[in-house]
């Protein structure tokens, strides 16, 4: 709606008053008998047009006696030449440097050979069956013919794994199936050279033992609905000493909308059961174990500004089939974070726990020199309370620091087996194998990490942790180091050359030394054996001939040499390996 100007409004009101006054005077002068003459005046509402509007002047003219005149200012500019040798260059558009994206191939193969007759082989491949389904294949192999200094027995090893996975995708869900096979051969070569044995008895020891694992599983992930996803995995694990283990894990997960949030409800069914043909130094006793754990884990994630909270809990009902004992556990599942200064600094804290299902397979992968006489039981991780901070110092330097306190009941610890001069013996009873003991352990740990990424060509990550252990029953927290550290670096030297380095530092550990000769008139030596800290330094250099073919050289254990990772088990010292890798499509 357009506004009526003030002058036109006054004119309109004046005309209206003047007309009213004129009509009233004529009515007074009218004589009786005169015929009245009525006048009909139609007043049309004001309808402004575009021409009636005008702009308000930016500098209106003011007629005011108090207005002061501006003072007249006069000035002069004095110019003088300045000597200059600067010659401006012609302007040109700056180009944006960009690297060509490397072509991605579906298949990768690598083969390498080194001293100690070490052999490494890898293959990772993918086959597109159709538009929505794909077959994946992976094959890994590592082996050595041995030759470790101070090893009294054969120290060769062999580790081969084959995995197949088949994945598919539909409009409403994705699914997958997998199968795997693993064959490992290790030797209990850690027997010392001072045993009361003849050369013939040493030569009669066959330290070789082998593991076989067969796995199968599947998973499904649904795009919509309350049911979110589920997975199932089965593994059969055994050795050449008639040991066998079955392990099945089923995990369905659900997601429910509640108000404006989603509540997650995860379930788990975890079964492990197996047998060992005998106990250590007791061939007539058999070991059996069977545990079935049922768990439920409800949780909800809440966000409010810079605050994020994931709150939940886990309840587990554990059934010990061999001892007919059932237990009920409740664990916290809480994690919170708050961004104090955006991505440069945020604090986080939480409390976590769970029932850890221990397996023969898991122990053998961590320490392949265990004897096939283990007592298997789950570990009750009561809680792990932690608080920390993470963020960035600069755009290329990030950090993470954390402190934690963890309480574990029935924690499994590797301990060196004792030696007794009795016959007959199994090949793992010559002071050359490890068993398990369980203890209640409280751990205080400090952890820190720095990540440095100058650009996409160079990255560096270094972390370190320091821990103290408070155990209830055992004399020491066997084979647990107080200090650990890792450094990882990758450098793309040029378009053709690349390099990488990795350093692993493990601090001192303690094990139990029990060498008992009392049955043959000797003495018993029982003490705490301290294993020295070690630094494992590794370096690799590669040359990329083209997009498909590359050559590499690796050097492992460049710093410490013949250190002991486990009591009595020295490792291969300086190792050098050379090889090539090739990428291709079918």
In a domain, 38, yes or no: no
Strand partners, 498: 542
In a domain, 295, yes or no: yes
Instruction: Give the percent of the chain with pLDDT over 90.
Output: 77
C-beta neighbour count of 18 within 10 angstroms: 10
User: How high is the pLDDT of residue 2?
Assistant: 41
User: How high is the pLDDT of residue 262?
Assistant: 86
As a whole number, mean pLDDT of residues 415-436 equals: 96
What is the CATH classification number for the domain harbouring 214? 2.40.170.20
In a domain, 322, yes or no: yes
Q: Does the structure show a pLDDT above 50 at 52? A: no
Q: Does the structure show a pLDDT above 50 at 4? A: no
Mean per-residue pLDDT of the chain: 87
Q: Does the structure show a pLDDT above 60 at 126? A: yes
User: How high is the pLDDT of residue 149?
Assistant: 87
Q: Does the structure show a pLDDT above 90 at 122? A: yes
Question: pLDDT tens digit string along 398-410?
Answer: 999 999 999 999 9
User: How high is the pLDDT of residue 77?
Assistant: 42
User: How high is the pLDDT of residue 78?
Assistant: 43
User: How high is the pLDDT of residue 99?
Assistant: 57
Q: Which pLDDT band holds residue 561 (cuts at 50, 70, 90)? A: confident
C-beta neighbour count of 62 within 10 angstroms: 7
User: How high is the pLDDT of residue 16?
Assistant: 39
187 against 77, higher pLDDT: 187
Q: Does the structure show a pLDDT above 60 at 41? A: no
Q: Which of 16-30, 376-390, 424-438 has the lowest mean pLDDT?
A: 16-30
> Are 542 and 550 a contacting pair, CB within 8 Å?
yes
In a domain, 35, yes or no: no
Question: pLDDT tens digit string along 483-506?
Answer: 999 999 999 999 999 999 999 999
Question: pLDDT tens digit string along 259-284?
Answer: 778 899 999 999 999 999 999 999 99
The tokens describing 447, both together, are 């952890």
Give dist(CA 583, CA 550) in Å, integer: 9
Beta-sheet pairing, 379-392 with 458-471? unpaired
In a domain, 399, yes or no: yes
Domain residues for the domain of 323 are 107-584
Give dist(CA 548, CA 571) in Å, integer: 34
Q: Does the structure show a pLDDT above 60 at 469? A: yes
As a whole number, mean pLDDT of residues 234-251 equals: 98
The CA R_g of the chain, rounded to the nearest whole Å, is 42
Give dist(CA 85, CA 87) in Å, integer: 6
Q: Please compute, for residue 57, the number of CA atoms within 13 A of its CA located in the half-sphere on the CB side.
A: 4
User: For residue 255, which of 293, 317, 297 has the smallest C-alpha distance?
Assistant: 297
Query: How many domains is the chain built from?
Result: 1
User: How high is the pLDDT of residue 224?
Assistant: 87
C-beta neighbour count of 125 within 10 angstroms: 17
72 against 313, higher pLDDT: 313
In a domain, 65, yes or no: no
Give dist(CA 433, CA 369) in Å, integer: 5
Per-residue DSSP letters for 517-561?
-GGGT--EEEEEEEEPPEEEEEEEEEEE-SSSEEEEEEEES-SS-
pTM over 0.95: no
In a domain, 34, yes or no: no
């Amino acid at each position: 709606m357009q506004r009526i100007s003030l002058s036109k409004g006054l004119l309109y009101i004046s005309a209206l008053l003047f007309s009213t006054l004129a009509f009233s005077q004529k009515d007074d002068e009218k004589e009786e008998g005169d015929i009245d003459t009525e006048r009909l005046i139609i007043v049309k509402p004001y309808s402004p047009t575009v021409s009636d509007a005008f702009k308000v002047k930016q500098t209106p003219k003011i007629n005011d006696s108090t207005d002061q005149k501006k003072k007249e200012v006069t000035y002069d500019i004095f110019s003088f030449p300045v000597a200059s040798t600067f010659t401006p260059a012609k302007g040109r558009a700056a180009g944006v440097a960009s690297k060509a994206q490397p072509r991605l191939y579906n298949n990768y193969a690598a083969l390498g050979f080194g001293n100690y007759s070490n052999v490494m082989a890898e293959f990772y491949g993918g086959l597109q069956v159709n538009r929505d389904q794909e077959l994946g294949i992976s094959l890994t192999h590592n082996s050595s013919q041995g030759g470790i200094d101070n090893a009294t027995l054969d120290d060769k090893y062999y580790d081969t794994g084959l995995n197949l996975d088949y994945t598919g995708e539909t409009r409403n869900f994705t699914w997958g199936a997998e199968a795997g096979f693993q064959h490992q051969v290790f030797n209990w070569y850690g027997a010392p050279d001072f045993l009361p044995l003849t050369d013939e008895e040493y030569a009669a020891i066959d330290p070789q033992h082998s593991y076989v694992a067969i796995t199968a599983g599947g998973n499904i992930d649904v795009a919509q609905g309350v049911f979110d996803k589920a997975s199932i995995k089965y593994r059969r694990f055994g050795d050449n000493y008639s040991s066998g283990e079955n392990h099945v894990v089923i995990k369905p997960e659900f997601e429910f909308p509640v108000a404006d949030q989603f509540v997650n409800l995860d379930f788990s069914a975890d079964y492990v059961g197996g047998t060992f043909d005998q106990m250590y130094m007791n061939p007539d006793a058999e070991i059996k174990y069977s545990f079935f754990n049922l768990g439920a884990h409800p949780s909800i994630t809440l966000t409010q500004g810079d605050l994020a909270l994931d709150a939940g809990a886990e309840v587990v009902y554990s059934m010990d089939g061999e001892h007919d004992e059932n237990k009920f556990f409740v664990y916290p599942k809480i994690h919170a974070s708050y961004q104090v200064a955006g991505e440069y600094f945020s604090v986080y804290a939480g409390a976590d726990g769970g029932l850890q299902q221990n397996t023969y397979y898991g122990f053998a992968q961590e320490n392949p020199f265990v004897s096939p006489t283990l007592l298997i039981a789950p570990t009750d991780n009561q809680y792990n309370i932690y608080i920390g901070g993470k963020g960035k110092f600069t755009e290329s330097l990030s950090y993470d620091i954390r402190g934690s306190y963890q309480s574990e009941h029935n924690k499994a610890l590797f301990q060196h087996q004792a030696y007794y001069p009795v016959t007959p013996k199994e090949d793992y009873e010559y002071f050359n194998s490890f068993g398990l003991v369980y203890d209640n352990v409280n751990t205080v740990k400090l952890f820190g990490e720095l990540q440095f990424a100058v650009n996409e060509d160079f990255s560096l990550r270094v972390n370190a942790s320091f821990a103290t252990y408070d155990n209830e029953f055992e004399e020491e927290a066997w084979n647990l180091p107080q200090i650990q550290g890792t450094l990882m670096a990758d450098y793309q030297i040029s378009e053709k050359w690349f390099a990488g380095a990795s350093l692993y530092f493990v601090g001192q550990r303690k094990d139990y030394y029990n060498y008992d000769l009392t049955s043959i008139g000797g003495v018993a030596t029982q003490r705490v054996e301290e294993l020295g800290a070690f630094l494992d330094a590794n370096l690799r250099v590669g040359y990329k001939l083209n997009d498909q073919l590359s050559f590499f050289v690796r050097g492992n254990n460049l710093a410490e040499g013949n250190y002991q990772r486990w009591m009595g088990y020295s490792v291969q010292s300086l190792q050098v390996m050379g090889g090539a890798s090739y990428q291709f499509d079918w």
